[in-house]
Amino acid sequence: MKDILEIKQMSREEKLRIMEALWEDLTSEDQSVQSPAWHESLLQETELKVEAGQEKILDWKEAKKALRKGFE
């Protein structure tokens, strides 16, 4: 297995090929990953807030800006 130093020396193309291979392997497993119960609870809570107009949906670009602003 490649260590961090070896990975940093790889080209962008090599890194992307490895990422794609890892993703392919992870998504091809027969086992499905179960989300924890708390996750479903939070999703339901968020859905109710959106329906009640208490939560705003942001696209990813807007969400990243908001998150970054929170760390300034």
| Domain boundaries of the chain, sorted by first residue | 4-28+38-70
Query: For the whole prediction, is pTM greater than 0.95?
Result: no
pLDDT of residue 7: 87
Of the listed ranges 14-18, 23-27, 37-41, 52-56, the one predicted with least confidence: 23-27
Residue 32 identity: S
Q: Is the pLDDT of residue 15 over 80?
A: yes
pLDDT tens digits, residue range 26-46?
A: 888 766 778 899 999 999 999
Q: Mean pLDDT, the chain, as a whole number?
A: 88
Q: Is the pLDDT of residue 1 over 60?
A: no
Q: Which DSSP state fits 54? A: -
What Cα–Cα distance (Å) separates residue 26 from each residue in 3, 12, 58?
20, 21, 28
Residue labelled with tokens 């940093």 = 8
